Amino acid sequence: MKIIPVILSGGVGSRLWPLSREHFPKQCLPLTDTEFSLLQKTVQRTNALDVGAPIVVCNEDHRFLIAQQLQMLGVAKSSIVLEPLGRNTAPAIALAALEAQYKQLDDALLLVLPADHVIRDDKAFETAIKQAAELAKEHTLVTFGVQPTRPEIGYGYIRAGKDFSVVEFVEKPNLETAQAYLDSGEYLWNSGMFLFSAKAYLDELALHRADIFQAVSQAYAQRSDDLDFVRIDAELFSRCPEESIDFAVMEPTKKAKVVPYVGDWSDIGAWDALYDYADKDTDNNVLLGDVMSENSNNCLVRSESRLVAVVGVNNLVVVETADAVLVMDKNNAQDVKKIVKRIKAEHREEHMYHTTVHRPWGSYQTVDLGDRHQVKRIMVKPGEKLSVQMHHHRAEHWVVVSGTAKVQNGDREILLTENESTYIPVGVVHALENPGKIPLELVEVQSGSYLGEDDIVRFSDRYGR
């Protein structure tokens, strides 16, 4: 039977702030690889299997970023299903199952994988999936349990019985209980990975949580295609209860099976987990980017934009980005969420965006920001075009650094090349396009009484925004 990867990519990963942001979440970051993101590594992990094009379920805000990362891998004909809002894993997987049925893939098995897991033992992974596929052919719902290597209190557990049976699911334990689980040899970490047919899952969801099944089915019935994306009805989906697949289906079902995965695995939920997972130097440090360390031990130090030096420290996490620096004791990694919560409460934006913001047409980076001015560096990919738009409160001055710009400035259409510029007054309709074969780079100087991104009135946009 063909296997269809279902990639769940709805999370943000706030415990990995300041690297992970709401508009550039951890699954889209190269946290364990210098080239590929966690999402891309997840897709690549299935290449050795007989798989079809993946179904990705993601947040609408991440759609262009995820589409771009799939394109970079050469993945064609994928389905990217957009969740209007997060409702946990049971509804998300139901959307994927309905999409599989829509594409007439009833005979296929859905391999459900979170986009942010790290697995380095590909052979053990493939072996577990092949075992699970034999069980899933009998219309069972198979989950994967990871062989525990330590008394972990951050994971749920599965007590496994004979013939891949599930005796019970248990919640995150305290340390003493986790040690007892480890000593017994009967318990596996609950990995959040699954294998089953679309019909088997939807039948069990309808049996045990008819309210979720009906709400998701009604929302999906209004399915529509938007460029490379699948949209569902936001109003109807908002009525769906929020629930995990474990509580909604896997715990009450009589058809659950668990296959052990004995190999390297991590969900990289926080900075201490990334430290535990990463390769270390002779001082037991993980040093990433432009970093210098003297007489420091057991630290994770990551630099994104400048030199970071640590001297005489121990057991710290130091993460530097262009607009924020995190310094903490590694033992307090779970408390990063408290900082993110404070940033939100104070109506700041450091939890949402990096200084470089990615758009479907390219990217922009804020270089300087004052009360009445903002300077941005803009990159437009070859053949791409920004929306036709205007602003009520700001004027803009564009200076081309490299490439060619095709500019609509009011009633005029002009071509600008290196060192040429144009001025766009407040209220004038304008657009920017790269007609060339190389990236267009320019500097934009904004001036006015309000410089927010919501001061954009779009008249037309090829990306449907």
Phi-psi region of 282 (alpha: psi -120 to 50; beta: other; left: phi over 0): alpha
- Which CATH number describes the domain made up of 356-460? 2.60.120.10
Mean pLDDT check: name the lowest of 105-109, 136-140, 281-285, 332-336. Answer: 105-109
For the chain, how many helices (H) and strands (E)?
Answer: 11, 30
What pLDDT, in 10s, does the model give residues 378-428?
Answer: 999 999 999 999 999 999 999 999 999 999 999 999 999 999 999 999 999
Query: 55: helix, coil or strand?
Result: strand
Most confident of 58-72, 142-156, 247-261: 247-261
Cα–Cα distance, 9 to 359 (Å, whole number):
18
pTM: 0.86
Residue 60 scores a pLDDT above 90? no
Q: Which helix (H) or strand (E) holds 198?
A: helix 198-208
Cα–Cα distance, 17 to 336 (Å, whole number): 7
- For residue 12, the model assigns a pLDDT of 85
Report the C-alpha dihedral over residues 146, 30, 244, 196, rounded to 10 degrees.
-60
Domain spans, the chain: 3-266, 284-341, 356-460
CB atoms within 10 A of CB 196: 28
Per-residue tokens: 47: 């290449």
Tell me the pLDDT tens digit for each residue of 300-330.
999 999 999 999 999 999 999 999 999 999 9
pLDDT of residue 324: 96
In which band, very low, low, confident or very high, does the pLDDT at 153 lie, cut at 50, 70 and 90?
confident
Residue 464 confidence (pLDDT): 78
What does the pLDDT read at residue 34?
76
Q: What confidence score (pLDDT) does residue 348 get? A: 92
Question: What is the rounded average pLDDT of the residues 237-246?
Answer: 95
Quote the mean pLDDT of the chain.
94
- If you search the block for the tokens 């309210």, which residue do you land on? 211
pLDDT band at 357 (very low <50, low <70, confident <90, very high): confident
Question: Is 461 a residue whose pLDDT tops 80?
Answer: yes
- The DSSP 8-state label assigned to residue 381 in this structure reads -
pLDDT for the residue 408? 97
Amino acid identity, position 134: E
With residue 341 as reference, give the H or E element that holds it.
helix 336-345
According to CATH, the topology of domain 3-266 is Spore Coat Polysaccharide Biosynthesis Protein SpsA; Chain A (3.90.550)
Q: What DSSP line would sit under 123-146, residue for residue?
A: HHHHHHHHHHHHHHTTT-EEEEEE
- DSSP letter string over 33-87? -SS--HHHHHHHHTTTS-B-S-EEEEEGGGHHHHHHHHHHTT--S-EEEEESS--
Question: In this model, does residue 10 exceed pLDDT 90?
Answer: no
Confidence (pLDDT) at 263: 86
- Residue 35's pLDDT band, with cuts at 50, 70 and 90, is confident
pLDDT score for 300: 98
Q: Beta strands 388-390 and 373-380: pairing type?
A: unpaired
- pLDDT reported for residue 136: 95
In Å, how far are 187, 231, 317, 322, 351 from 12, measured between CA atoms? Answer: 29, 20, 20, 19, 10
Could you check whether 3-266 and 356-460 share the same CATH topology? no
Q: What is the pLDDT of residue 313?
A: 98
Instruction: Report the residue count for the chain.
Output: 465
**How sure is the predictor about 48, in pLDDT bands with cuts at 50, 70 and 90?**
confident
For residues 137-146, give the mean pLDDT: 95
pLDDT band at 195 (very low <50, low <70, confident <90, very high): very high
Q: pLDDT tens digits for 430-456?
A: 999 999 999 999 999 999 999 988 899
Give dist(CA 440, CA 418) in Å, integer: 10
* Interatomic CA distance for residues 223 and 451, integer angstroms: 36
Q: What pLDDT band is residue 206 in, cutting at 50, 70 and 90?
A: very high
For 361, other C-beta atoms within 10 Å of its C-beta total 23
For residue 402, how many other CB atoms are within 10 A of its CB?
A: 14
Q: Is residue 465 over pLDDT 80?
A: no
Beta carbons within 10 angstroms of residue 243's beta carbon: 18
